[in-house]
Structure 1
Amino acid sequence: MPDFYRAFGDSTRRRILSMLKQGNKTQKEIVEAFDISQPAIKKHLDILLEEKMISERIQGKYRIYSLNPNSLQIAYKEMLQYIGELLDDQLVSLKDYVERGEYRDEQD
């Protein structure tokens, strides 16, 4: 399963993904959009590839990158589930707090 947080946890990787939502890009096009080195961009691309957020194909001497919509959809659903569970836990805690009446003691 892709690690959504690893893939999206860095602003450079988020910018790369944002670029790719506009369409396929060569590695050169991606590198030119940043003020960091080609090897640094390649490391970010490798992480996105490892997490299957993007795919890569070689066309002649160019590496062309594109979004992997299936993995992105899985990551999105996973994130929604995680956030839903967090909110459920918080609502249960709030309900317990209110039912115990502890907030009244703090107001007195």
Structure 2
Amino acid sequence: MVNYQENHLDDVFSVLSDPTRRKIIEELSKGEKTVKKLAEPFDMSLPAVTKHLKVLEKAQIVSFRKEGRYKYYFLQPEKMKDAIEWLHYWRSFWEDRLTRLEQFLMETKEEDE
């Protein structure tokens, strides 16, 4: 099975469970942005977006750099690596099982004919 840190994996999936945070991650995948720019597509206040960013920071999925009085947030996609590996393992697991089921059903159908 995949070797991953259980707590970090829990944090990542918890963060990804929120659609607003997923959208923020999508936006940051296009490049770094300020809170104001990140808030534009949402019908929410800057403090609300900042709260989402703090959750993403805690999970180490985003980070920021300061330039003057502005914070520029950027994505740290490598921090989602454990979740990607975990999902890949289970995708392969189920694809293998479904392929075997398909083969079994095809063989059973051929025997019935």
CA deviations 1:50-93 (Å, max 9, x no partner) are: 111111111111111111021022321133335556x39xx5xx
Q: Does 1:14 align with 2:14?
A: no
Letter in 1 for 2:59: E
- State the TM-score, normalizing by the size of structure 1: 0.71
Counterpart code for 1:68: Q
Matching residue within 31, 52, 56 for 2:60? 52
| Counterparts in 2 of 1:73 and 1:34: CA distance versus 1, 3 Å | same
| Aligned twin of 1:98 | none
Matched residue count = 93
Q: RMSD between aligned alpha carbons? A: 2.4
Instruction: Among all aligned residue pairs of Structure 1 and Structure 2, give the percentage whose two residues are the same amino acid.
Output: 33
Distance 1:57 1:74 in 2: 25
Runs of 4+ in 1 over 6 A off after TM superposition: none
Residue segments in structure 2 that go unaligned for 5+ positions in a row: 1-7, 102-113
1:3-82 equivalences under 5 Å are: 3-82=11-90
